[in-house]
Amino acid sequence: MELFANIGKAVLIQSLGLQKNYTEVASDTINVIDYDTPACRECKCCAIIKSFEPDSQAYISASEICENCPKKTLTQQTVYKKIYHNEKNRYGYKPRLKSNAIKLLLLLHFYHPDKFGIICDANTEKLASELNCDIKTVYNNFDVLDNYGYITYSRTGTRTVNICLNDYEKYYLPANKGGRGFIVMSKELLLRILQLENLMTLRIHLRELLEIDNLNAKGPFTAISKTYKEIKLSLPDYCKPCLIRSAVENSKDIFNISFKDNIVRFEIHERFNCRRQKEECFNQYITAFNEFISNFNETVIAVNSTNILPEACSDFFSDKDLQPDIIFKFIKIRDYEYEDMAQLAMQYSFNSVIDALCQIYRSYILKERDISNLGGLLRTIITSNQNQLTQTSVNSTNSSAA
């Protein structure tokens, strides 16, 4: 499983259930020309603006002159506008999912989908173990997700399936091309969500995570307050305030939850602030790879001078490499390549990247072969290694079943 996964907001909202349509009155403060100043009262353009309709040519021409007038004075004015919220138009419609189907959909995003959202040879026993259910339940929910258009899947073995997350490519599109963004979720947060037993709790928690993530686009937010009426907009009609309170007050591992009158305040725990956690993890991996390469290159100096192989470097060197005329090479990494390595470590693991780097060292660096794209080569090797492990697991499973 990946340490972090990107989950499309549109897909997640569809799976939780679209909000009922509602209207919101929003206020904003804008700067406008103050026409009551002495300079404006003596101006013909001001008289025209006060006398003519806004859509008339005279009004438009006078307004343009006033906008460029050096004597104008600005004042602040509060304006109000109605905002119509219709999630069906914004996100599209798919049927609302039940608990296990939602959890399975989230879990699949952590199983290394490629750029098209395709996951090869996913092990259904492993999925069942993560969801704490039997394999039949997993297949039943695969059918639900397939029938509702969330995924496409087919069996490839006794306990393996190939899966395509249907809308995966849209996660990264700009808004004008149908993209609705994605939420970053950590493995730690996912495992906590998988433990939520109450369906209403699951829906509410995921909704508030989305809301806080949307607010974070405008600045650092860690809390949000909602009325019961606002919470109920995305829930089935039977969810009364007493049921909503009961669903959230006994589940405070993801949020600190407090109640005041008809307001519920959700404050996310720091360890589940996934965007911040991802940034910190990314920087930690860059530091770790820097230290590893530095220590490795120091070891190369020692090996070249003593011809003695440290046990810690046996993955990179072997005894047969220790020839008198062999000069071991340094590993040279550019700054942006450290970033590529850190990104791969978050998707797979630190050890997976080191194992791939070991293969590159023996096959490319020692043989002085050019490497034009280290990040791409690392990803290719890691993917190949993952596929080999998966195939070994599949063969073992099929042999056991036979």
Sign of the Cα pseudo-torsion (102, 243, 246, 221, in order): positive
pLDDT category, 84, cuts 50, 70, 90?
A: low
- Token duo for residue 113: 């989908």
pLDDT the model gives residue 171: 87
Judged against a pLDDT cut of 90, whether residue 399 lies above it is answered with: no
Q: Could you tell me if 289 and 373 lie in one domain?
A: yes
The mean pLDDT value for 100-124 works out to 91
Domain end residue (candidates: 195, 224, 248)? 195
pLDDT the model gives residue 398: 54
Domain end residue (candidates: 171, 195, 219)? 195
Judged against a pLDDT cut of 60, whether residue 323 lies above it is answered with: no
| More confident of the two residues 217 and 380 | 380
| Tokens 């004042």, residue located | 75
* Rounded Cα–Cα distance for residues 313 and 217 (Å): 44
Judged against a pLDDT cut of 70, whether residue 316 lies above it is answered with: no
pLDDT the model gives residue 49: 85
pLDDT the model gives residue 206: 93
DSSP string, 345-388: HHHS-HHHHHHHHHHHIIIIITTT---S-HHHHHHHHHHHHHHH
| More confident of the two residues 178 and 241 | 241
Judged against a pLDDT cut of 80, whether residue 286 lies above it is answered with: yes
Which segment of 66-75, 79-88, 243-252 scores lowest on mean pLDDT? 79-88
Q: Could you tell me if 93 and 163 lie in one domain?
A: yes
The mean pLDDT value for 345-370 works out to 84
Establish if 378 belongs to a structural domain. Answer: yes
164: exposed, middle or buried (C-beta count within 10 Å: 0-12, 13-18, 19+)?
Answer: middle
**Residue 165 φ/ψ, nearest 5 degrees:** -75, 105
- Token duo for residue 266: 């959700």
Task: Tell me if 157 sits within 8 A of 172, measured CB to CB.
Answer: no
**Which of these, 250, 312, 336, 235, lies nearest to 13 by C-alpha position?**
235
Q: What's the number of domains the chain is made of?
A: 4
Per the structure, the complete domain to which residue 372 belongs is given by 274-397
* % of the chain with per-residue pLDDT over 90: 25
Helix or strand holding residue 85 (H, E): strand 74-85
pLDDT the model gives residue 324: 55
Judged against a pLDDT cut of 60, whether residue 172 lies above it is answered with: yes
| More confident of the two residues 102 and 253 | 102
* Rounded Cα–Cα distance for residues 58 and 66 (Å): 12
Domain end residue (candidates: 85, 106, 126)? 85
Q: Could you tell me if 165 and 299 lie in one domain?
A: no
pLDDT category, 55, cuts 50, 70, 90?
A: confident
Which segment of 189-203, 275-289, 307-321 scores lowest on mean pLDDT? 307-321
What b-and-e string marks burial along 10-31, b requiring 16 or more CB atoms within 10 Å of the CB? bbbbbbbbbbeeeeeeeeeeee
Q: Tens digits of per-residue pLDDT, 86-109? A: 778 888 889 999 999 999 999 999
Q: Which amino acid is at 295?
A: N
Q: Could you tell me if 285 and 267 lie in one domain?
A: no
The mean pLDDT value for 133-161 works out to 94
Establish if 370 belongs to a structural domain. Answer: yes
Q: What is the greatest pairwise CA distance in the chain? A: 98
Domain of 132: which CATH number?
A: 1.10.10.10
Establish if 138 belongs to a structural domain. Answer: yes
Task: Tell me if 102 sits within 8 A of 133, measured CB to CB.
Answer: no
- SS3 assignment, position 170: helix
| Tokens 């290159």, residue located | 297
Q: Could you tell me if 241 and 299 lie in one domain?
A: no
What b-and-e string marks burial along 73-96, b requiring 16 or more CB atoms within 10 Å of the CB? eeeeeeeeeeeeeebeeebbebeb
The mean pLDDT value for 276-283 works out to 78
The mean pLDDT value for 148-172 works out to 91
Task: Give whole-number Cα distances, 215 to 208, 218, 333, 386, 401, in Å.
Answer: 11, 6, 37, 37, 50
pLDDT the model gives residue 132: 93
- Token duo for residue 68: 């460029």
DSSP string, 8-58: EHHHHHHHH-PPPPEEEEEEEEEEEE-TTSHHHHT-HHHHHHHHS-TTSHH
Helix or strand holding residue 100 (H, E): helix 99-108
pLDDT the model gives residue 202: 93
Which segment of 4-13, 105-114, 212-221, 274-283 scores lowest on mean pLDDT? 212-221
pLDDT the model gives residue 38: 83
Question: Between β-strands 160-165 and 223-227, what pairing exists: parallel, antiparallel or unpaired?
Answer: unpaired
Q: Could you tell me if 244 and 372 lie in one domain?
A: no
Q: Could you tell me if 309 and 365 lie in one domain?
A: yes
Q: Could you tell me if 285 and 258 lie in one domain?
A: no
Q: Could you tell me if 6 and 112 lie in one domain?
A: yes
205: exposed, middle or buried (C-beta count within 10 Å: 0-12, 13-18, 19+)?
Answer: buried
* Rounded Cα–Cα distance for residues 106 and 12 (Å): 8
